[in-house]
Amino acid sequence: MHEISEENLKKAESHAKLAESHGKSVEKVGKVLKEGNEKADLQAKLIEEYGQAIQQHAKASERYAQTAQKHDGDSIEEYLQATEEHIRATENHTQAVKEFLKVSKKQQEKAREVLEKSKPDSKELEN
């Protein structure tokens, strides 16, 4: 039977806690975007939901890692479950970043348009 070291189990638990913290940050970004930009509402809502999903998967990963630690090394199944939940949290984080990049790109394009419109005409510069 394979055994998972106590060190790896503690790392899995630590990663789960860190992922949960990331999830809270992602959720907050979504909320802030919703408040500041009506046009980004869909992306903001998705980002917020991804943040919540990250937290859920991270908590599940942490529970599996803690359960694995109680089984004195005979914990391959719980460790695998913890790892799978961590992967799901990471996938949600990746999706949230993609949505954020969409919002950023839109805002960047809008800023360029505003700058182009406010740019003085070359004839105006000559006078």
The structural domains of the chain, with segments of one domain joined by +, span 6-126
Write down the mean pLDDT value for the chain.
87
**CA–CA separation, 55 and 64 (whole Å):** 14
Instruction: Judge whether 69 and 13 are in contact, CB under 8 Å.
Output: yes
For the chain, give me the number of helices (H) and strands (E)? 4, 0
pTM comes to 0.81
- What pLDDT shows up at residue 27? 92
Is it the case that residue 122 has pLDDT exceeding 60? no
Number of other residues whose CB lies within 10 A of the CB of residue 42: 12
User: Which residue matches tokens 């914990």?
Assistant: 75
